[in-house]
Structure 1
Amino acid sequence: MTRQWPSIIMLWLIGVLAAAQFARMAVVAPLMRTTLGLTLSQAGWLISLLEVGGALFGFVAGLALARVSVHRFLLLGLAILAGTGLVEAIATGATTLFVARAAEGIGYLFVVIAAPTAIAATASDAIRPRALALWSTFVPVGIAAGAAVSGFLLTVTSMRGTALVWVSLVVASGVLVARFRIAGSAIHAIRLPAPAAWVSTFGFGLYTIFISALTMLLPSFLIEQAGATMGQSALSAACASLGVLPATAAAMLVMRNDRMSARRSATIAAVSLLAAVPFVLALYRIDGLALLTRAALAVLAVTVSGLVPPIVFARLPQLAGATTPDDPRIATANGLITQFGAGGALIGPPLGGLIVGWSGWSGLGVAASLLLIAMLAAFVLAEMIGAGAARLSVGYAAPK
């Protein structure tokens, strides 16, 4: 059983490497604005284009994965990441850079669908929930690692050198993947996930709207409302983003030696999301709070609500109706959660900005709290649908 963890951690690290490309571009964006004459808006789009592939083609890619081996899909994604990263490193014009970044989003999409599908097929029943809970952390860990590594590299080499180091890391990971047999490589049929997975992944999309609006707009909020400096606001946002890590550790502890049942997962989601509401309302609606207090409230809101993503990923194979570890419904469900998650990440910050423009920061607090309630409704409904389906058929997916 323990021999499965090295492969699972390798797949998780590949996801972390892919997610690091968000922060890599964010860190070098100010230099690109100078060298290529990009506007602030263009720089923002250059960063977020990595999610366009998932937002547009996540579910389609999940269907395609059901017809292509997971191993090949993962290698293809890494090859696209390496190739587009190389083009970005040598690009001298904005048009080339934007086209390469959009294509890079397709490689990112392939990796983040194939890797969790392989994890689900690799892990035994006893550790699968914890393995998928670990996978749920790949984005915040990747962003933190990408920012730290890119910032260091820029102090010792050029912008092009930094990009080439990342390309080298992607190529090395591709060589590593090519040398290992990846589980779940014999998927030949297309099967749609069960209705419960659609509802659950929609709820996850609501979560990404909530979390991206909160964390991405937090620096602006702290500067305007708490007099924070740029450095203080950036540090606060980073700490808030990493708040999901202790939550994931707690979720994995709860899952230890116990497959997550429908009742248990719904109960944890209810406690987590309802407990986050007071922190969100206090963050945005109480005047006169000190910077440290507001930053702590943001971290607490992310940490408490952060119990939900690992549970969603852990429960996804069961809610999708999978009957075996390599059931094609796991691949299509991963495509679905990628589509909703990427779409939420794309619209979260601009939607939050619109709400602030209409009703101020306090309005964002109300909207974020309503999102938490809507998430809870979606997750509870998904578990009810899944439990009903489980009573009709007993198999791998049946909740206890």
Structure 2
Amino acid sequence: MLRTSFGSGLLVLVLWLAGLGAAAQFAKFAVPFGTVRLLYPEAGTEIGWLLTLISALGAVFGMTAGVLIARIGLARAVITALVLGGVVSFWQATLPGFAIMLVSRVIEGVSHLMIVVAAPTLIAQITSGRFRGIGMTLWSTFFGVSFAVMVWIGLPFVGNRGLDGLLVAHGVYMLSVALFLGFLLSNVRRPETAAAVQRDQTPMIQKHIDAYRSPDVAAPAIGWLFYTMTFVALLAVLPELLPLSSRTLIVGFMPVVSIAVSLIIVSALLAKATAVAITIVGFLVSGSVVMLFFAGLPLPHLSIGLFAALGLVQGASFAAVPELNATAESCALANGAMAQMGNLGNLIGTPILLSILGYAGHAAMFLTVVLLYLFAVIAHVVMARARA
């Protein structure tokens, strides 16, 4: 374990920087997607696979990653994943043919999964007390912050240096973080945890069954499924409903307010309430805000209020993992389950809500969102009773 609180805090910050790099593995293709499409005009609708392959890999192998990372060691997994991600970015910067680029995205998905499972587990290990809640809420912002940085800095960079320049910059970033982490993690040693996990020879399928049967391991992930089914979908749908004059400002502010609530309000609330309780309240408040659509609340106010409420869910869901799981192995399993359910939610949420919007209109779509949040509350309450 790191010898000083300053060192622990610095390590948490650098692990968060690793998370930014992992999120950028999505953002570097999603944000400048118009440029990506121009590079592969022959791909047609299959171009979308460049965005969804990582989600598909996570949805299938998220829990498997949790099991394997617990066995090989957290520090080794993070550094290996960063190096792999950096090398793949350099490879992608050569702008290979479409089929080869798809292969690179599959390999990159392995890197992404390893980071998003191992890094938060390591944060939970090196922090304690209220600092653990702060560390986990900081981690919860990695996706939103990375996409915001890619919009503010990445897009102009692509305009000046091209997509290949952005991919090289991402590769340099990943390798730089790997070097810094390698230096910091040299002071972290937990051989007893690794040895205990390596002796566990439970088959992988049984690990999946046991994990999702556990109300400790599964609870954060099940709630996260309902969160991710709506978050990205609403970011895609709501802008089209907003007034054109204020659309850009509101859309830019929506994820920012969610991040701010996670960092400031959730961190404060964790001193007085459990992460699970905050998550449940977050879903209830989110559903209540959506219901105000039927009372005539203007959509700009609804959009900002909803993403502020979802910030409670975002921060508290990650904080719930170490709160419910005491060992490194169970934390890795829980983070693997969150990766699995989060990627599944990203894959199915937007098509479902867009289909409902197309067939039945805005009211039906908003009612569906409310029902999803209600299902999340019910799932959390049922699992809390099981734990009791």
* TM-score class normalised by the smaller sequence: 0.7 to 0.9
> Runs ≥4 in structure 1, deviation > 6 angstroms?
none
SS in 2 for 1:92: coil
Question: What is the CA-CA distance between 1:39 and the residue it aligns to?
Answer: 5.7
- One-letter amino acid of the structure 1 residue matched with residue 90 of structure 2: L
Name the residue aligned to 1:381.
Answer: 382
Name the residue aligned to 1:362.
Answer: 363
Name the residue aligned to 1:274.
Answer: 284
Question: What is the CA-CA distance between 1:270 and the residue it aligns to?
Answer: 4.0
Do structure 1's residue 220 and structure 2's residue 240 form an aligned pair? yes
Name the residue aligned to 1:25.
Answer: 29
Q: Determine if contact 2:220/2:334 at 8 Å carries over to the other structure.
A: no
Distance change (3 Å), C-alpha of 1:99 and 1:295? farther
Distance change (3 Å), C-alpha of 1:33 and 1:270? closer
Name the residue aligned to 2:250.
Answer: 236
Q: CA RMSD in A?
A: 2.3
Structure 1 gaps, min length 5? 389-400
Question: What is the CA-CA distance between 1:234 and the residue it aligns to?
Answer: 5.0
Distance change (3 Å), C-alpha of 1:16 and 1:99? same
Name the residue aligned to 2:204.
Answer: none
The counterpart of 1:209, out of the listed 229, 234, 238, is: 229
In 1, Cα distance between equivalents of 2:169 and 2:311: 32
Match runs of 1:324-335 below 5 Å: 324=327, 327-335=328-336
Percent identity over the alignment? 26
In 1, Cα distance between equivalents of 2:100 and 2:190: 34
Question: What is the CA-CA distance between 1:339 and the residue it aligns to?
Answer: 0.5
- One-letter amino acid of the structure 2 residue matched with residue 154 of structure 1: V
In 1, Cα distance between equivalents of 2:240 and 2:369: 16
Name the residue aligned to 1:172.
Answer: 176
Name the residue aligned to 2:118.
Answer: 114
Distance change (3 Å), C-alpha of 1:210 and 1:35? closer
Q: Determine if contact 1:24/1:147 at 8 Å carries over to the other structure.
A: no
Structure 2 gaps, min length 5? 201-206
Match runs of 1:80-159 below 5 Å: 80-159=84-163
Distance change (3 Å), C-alpha of 1:371 and 1:237? same
In 2, Cα distance between equivalents of 1:38 and 1:149: 29
SS in 2 for 1:279: helix
In 1, Cα distance between equivalents of 2:64 and 2:122: 18
Please list the CA deviations of residues 274-308 of structure 1 after superposition, one character each: whole Å capped at 9, or x if unmatched.
2222422344x577x7xxx4233112101113212
Distance change (3 Å), C-alpha of 1:271 and 1:315? closer
In 1, Cα distance between equivalents of 2:348 and 2:181: 33
19-28 or 368-377, which deviates more? 19-28
Please list the CA deviations of residues 109-150 of structure 1 after superposition, one character each: whole Å capped at 9, or x if unmatched.
111111001101111234212211221111111111122221
SS in 2 for 1:199: helix
TM-score by length of 2: 0.87
Q: Larger % of helix: which?
A: 2
Distance change (3 Å), C-alpha of 1:56 and 1:235? farther
